[in-house]
Chain A
Amino acid sequence: MVDADRPPQNSFEPGIAPSPERSAADDPALNPAIERPILEIEQLSLWYGAKQALKGNSLRIPERRITAFIGPSGCGKSTLLRCVNRLNDLIDGVRIEGEIRFEGRNIYDPEVEINALRKRIGMVFQKSNPFPKSIYENVAYGPRIQGITRKATLDELVEKSLRGAALWDEVKDRLDESALGMSGGQQQRLCIARAIAVEPEIILLDEPCSALDPIATAKIEELMEDLKRDFTLVIVTHNMQQASRVSDYTAFLYMGELIEYGETGQLFLKPMKQQTEDYITGRFG
């Protein structure tokens, strides 16, 4: 089995037979060929109190590609994503085992400075969460925290970030207005602009389009294609069409377990696992 020191309870969920071959490091269903992994997740387990949400998963995330996590609600895809910038640390009673290596270094090493880490691994949330400040101040917030105070530098960064999030033309005349007056899609792109303003290496997107209409969704998807040139993107989505449209690699999780991970085309056209096929064809989930 995967992990000997895992607590005995919840290690077996009725109805889910642990795949006998899944621990094998050379399982082709879990180990696509990835040239330059920027993140290496190694045997990652997570417990919310007594409940295990992640069960010893390993996967490698490629640099400057879009990786999608899919799976039914409660499968642990968002939890896995929030492990990457250690946002789960904030929740009381969370216990994490395993490693996530970012550029070869374990981010759960006690010497890692969390704030510096979060600056390099940005995040966009499911529900847009602009600060109750002006549009300008929202984008300038991260750079200001990093100690940038020069107005000209900030102006430049704000414009660059808003352009990067395809928002500049819509808001350039009302930068001083409250961010909360924008539409939902604009707010979400503002959150993307805010994330890229601190120039991270990785951007985590946690179901960024789940609250948006199709047009706003299409804009964000288009934007992700552009962002891929400069950033590594990891997106959690419960929309399989979206995953197949935008991502290069897809990981399918079920009940806290990584079932299959591979190139998106491969995974959607010729899944190697029965469960994956059942899920993407809509037989459950």
Chain B
Amino acid sequence: MKPSASQRQRDFLGLSMTALCGGALALNLLLILGLLAIIGYQGGRYFWQKDLLELTLADGRRLLGEPHSTEVVPAPERPGGELARVQMRLGNRDLTGGDFQWVDEPSVVARERPRDAVVLERLEWGNFYGRMVELRAGQRVIASGSDAVWRDFGPLHRRKSAERAAIRKLERGPIGEVNLAIEKLRLARKRLALDAPPPAELERGQREIDSALAGRQAEYERLAEDLFRRREALLAETLVMEAADGARKEIPVGSVVRALRPNEMTSAGKLGLYLSRVWEFVSDDPRESNTEGGIFPAIFGTVMMVFLMSFAVVPLGVLAALYLREYAKQGPLVRMVRIAVNNLAGVPSIVFGVFGLGFFVYTIGGSLDRLLYPEALPTPTFGTGGILWGALTLALLTVPVVIVATEEGLAAVPGIVRAGSLALGATKWETTWKVVVPAAAPGILTGVILAMARAAGEVAPLMIVGMVKLAPTLPIDGSFPYVHLERKFMHLGFHIYDVGFQSPNVDATKPLVFATALLLIVVVTGMNLVAISIRNHLRRKYAGSAV
């Protein structure tokens, strides 16, 4: 039998709707893949060393650097009406004041890839592009000539790098500890005065503290002198570099991070360099107001903040959901509470930040300071933004997610399972705690996963409760009590904004935005994968369980 006209029409409608739905899904997938691809490509490119190009311009100027980007701009006065330009990364900020320069293609008369062109990554002033001229120890010349200097520079630089690491260890270790001890003694002295003991006792106490202080001070001066000497020695040897325009610059070998001859490097060598730069990026401290170096403190701060938040949000959310679902009499009041909780999830996050500032930082933190740290006032200890307050603020922000997911998990545990437990003589609480909650654990973890993802990406509220552009110390370190919840912290989300849009050198840091965003995605995905694998383990353990 032939299908009727109306049947054919309905078939066609069905087919086209299927195609439409499939198309919508495909578009979504494409957008996500596109996002990952762009961020991955732009971020990954940042670490790749390009060959150095030496351009001779029509006016006789010579430029040495890396081609950074190209563009075509409209130029009505030219034949064709267009002008191609190349943006060169020339470095040498200390000589020329800028890192980048646009060069019109037609003005380039010659381009070479000089074998002995060197790029120096420096601790300060960014990259230097040029040729090696001389290696000096003080006034004495150790080596001269591009190749001779290159040969001698390697071993010397390795020695200096080791010495630099040792100095940094000294600064972070003994000197940091002595400084901390001095600060503690100073606070103890102030505290003693605040406690106002009898004059004799006060005087005796102050004498004791003063003598300890004097001992520490002497120790500090000894260390500081040692540090000063070693720093001086570190900078003793210098490298004389010549830029493309002939200008010379004397650079201490100890301040060079890397020296490369990219035009001589093989692909394998560049790949090794690439990996070592990636490693530096994830493991090192930032330099030059975050535009160079690594972002380890931001990774650490993000992960630690999210963990602290999870520790706060899980008990809070799970217990609240247990009460709502298992104990509260279901009625209009509970329904209203539920609506309120859901709406809480829709409150703009900056509002939570303001609340966190007013409640956690000023009220609770201020009270803690007055009670526990009066000697440090007016310098606040907890009465200012810190990682603990950031984590608690985000816990408030994400608690609705956990409550909703936990409630769903609890609701999915069949009533007959609860009845089974009750029929064995278990109380309601025993049933809830030993049967219902374990069975709902995968659902609870789903909530935690969502909360962690949200918290890791949240920036606005953190900006006012403890996140900073540059934190001098990590919230966890080797000095007692090891975990410093009052410290400010760095965060990948804020770092992206900061390096990309607040930095003095926007052109240079644009790729960093992508690299940092890529890392943020990796960190969030990594944390989620951990939580998901725990959830899947639980699901497997209770195969066939409800959620």
Q: For chain A residues 104-143, which have a beta carbon within 8 Å of chain B?
A: 115-119, 122-123, 125, 127, 129-133, 141-142
Q: Which of B335-343, B418-426, B453-461 contacts A (4 or more CB under 8 A)?
A: B418-426
Residue of B nearest to A178 (CB): B543
Residues facing B in A173-231 (CB within 8 A) are 178, 180-181, 191, 194-195, 198
User: Which residues does chain A contribute within 8 Å of B414, judged by CB atoms?
Assistant: 129
* Bound-complex Cα distance A124 to B416 (A): 10
Please judge, given known A-B contacts A90-B419, A131-B420, A131-B435, whether A115 and B543 are in contact too, CB under 8 Å. no
User: Hey, what's the 0/1 contact readout for B404-442 against A, CB within 8 Å counting as 1?
Assistant: 000000000010110111111111001000110011000
A146 part of interface (Cβ distance < 8 Å): yes
Given A129-B417, A132-B545, A181-B543: A122 in contact with B424 (beta carbons within 8 A): yes
Assembly CA distance A125 to B546 (angstroms): 18
Whether the Cβ atoms of A178 and B416 lie closer than 8 Å is no
> Is the CB–CB distance between B430 and A145 below 8 Å?
yes
Q: Mark A79-121, 1 if CB is under 8 A from B, else 0.
A: 0000001010010000000000000000000000001111100
Checking A115, A117, A122 against B426 with a beta-carbon cut-off of 8 angstroms, the contacting residue is: A115
Known: A115-B426, A180-B543. 7 other contacts (CB 8 A): A115-B425, A123-B423, A132-B545, A141-B434, A145-B426, A146-B425, A195-B423
- Name B424's contact: one of A127, A178, A180, A194 (CB within 8 Å): A194
Q: Digit string of B109-150 for contact with A (CB within 8 Å is 1, else 0)? A: 000000000000000000000000000000000000000000
What chain B residues lie within 8 Å of A133 (beta carbons)? 435, 438, 542
Interface size class of B (residues with CB under 8 A): 20 to 34
B544 within 8 A of A: yes
Please state if B424 and A132 are interface contacts (CB–CB under 8 Å). Answer: no
The CA of A127 and the CA of B417, in the complex, are separated in Å by 10
Indicate which residue in A127, A132, A191 contacts B439 across the interface (CB closer than 8 Å): A132
Shortest CB-to-CB span from B332 to chain A, Å, is 15
Give the number of A-B contacts (CB < 8 Å): 80
How far is A132 from B545 in the complex, measured between Cα atoms in Å? 6
The residue on B at minimum CB distance from A143 is: B424
Which residues of chain B come closer than 8 Å to A146, judged between CB atoms?
425
A178-B544, A180-B544, A180-B545 known; A145+B416 contact, CB < 8 A: no
CB-based nearest A residue for B542 = A132
**In the complex, what residue of chain A is closest to B420 when comparing beta carbons?**
A129
A178-B543, A180-B544 known; A119 vs B425 contact (CB < 8 Å): yes
Q: Is residue B541 within 8 Å, beta carbon to beta carbon, of the partner chain?
A: yes
* Top-10 shortest CB links A-B: A119-B425, A132-B542, A180-B544, A123-B423, A142-B424, A132-B545, A129-B420, A129-B416, A132-B439, A118-B425
CB distance from B372 to the nearest CB of A (A): 41
User: Which B residues are closer than 8 A to A by beta carbons?
Assistant: 414, 416-417, 419-427, 430, 434-435, 438-439, 541-546
Write out the residue numbers on chain B whose beta carbons fall within 8 Å of the beta carbon of A181.
543-544
Judging by beta carbons under 8 Å apart, are A191 and B543 in contact? no
Bound together, the chains give a CA A124 to CA B436 distance in angstroms of 19
Residues in A neighbouring B416, C-beta threshold 8 A: 125, 127, 129
A interface residues, tally (CB under 8 Å): 28
Complex Cα gap A33–B401 (Å)? 62
Q: What is the CA–CA distance of A116 and B422 in the complex, to the nearest angstrom?
A: 11
* Least Cβ–Cβ distance between B406 and chain A, in angstroms: 16
Closest B residue to A134 by beta carbon equals B541
How does the 8 Å CB contact mask read for A45-63 relative to B, with 1 for contact and 0 for none?
Answer: 0000000000000000000
Which single member of A115, A117, A131 contacts B417 (CB below 8 Å)?
A: A131
Query: Distance in Å from the Cβ of B428 to the closest Cβ of chain A?
Result: 9
Q: Which residues of A contact B417 (CB under 8 A)?
A: 129, 131-132
Q: A180 with B425: in contact, given A125-B416, A129-B416, A133-B438 (CB under 8 Å)?
A: no
Q: Which residue of A131, A133, A191 has the most chain B CB atoms within 10 A of its CB atom? A: A131
B333 CB to closest chain A CB (Å) equals: 16
- Tell me the smallest distance from the CB of B327 to a CB of chain A, in Å: 13
A-B CB contact pairs (8 Å), 6 listed = A118-B422, A141-B435, A145-B425, A180-B542, A180-B543, A191-B420
Bound-complex Cα distance A198 to B423 (A): 11
Q: A125-B420, A127-B416, A181-B543 are in contact. Are A132 and B438 (CB under 8 A)?
A: yes
Q: A131 to B430, alpha carbons, bound, how many Å? A: 13
Cα–Cα, bound, A194→B419 (Å): 13
By a CB distance below 8 angstroms, the chain A residues around B542 are: 132-133, 178, 180
Q: For residue A83, give the distance in angstroms from its CB to the closest CB of chain B.
A: 13
Q: CA–CA, A133 to B437, complex, Å? A: 12
| Residues in B neighbouring A145, C-beta threshold 8 A | 424-426, 430, 434
A85 in complex: contacting residue of B423, B544, B545, CB < 8 Å? B423
Assembly CA distance A116 to B497 (angstroms): 63
- A127 surroundings in chain B (CB, below 8 A): 416
Determine the chain B residues whose CB is within 8 A of the CB of A195 once the complex forms.
Answer: 423-424
Instruction: Report the Cα distance A181→B542, complex, angstroms.
Output: 8
Least Cβ–Cβ distance between A212 and chain B, in angstroms = 16
Contact between B424 and A125, CB atoms less than 8 A apart: no
Which of chain B's residues has its CB closest to A138's CB? B420
Residues of A within 8 A of B422 (CB): 87, 90, 118
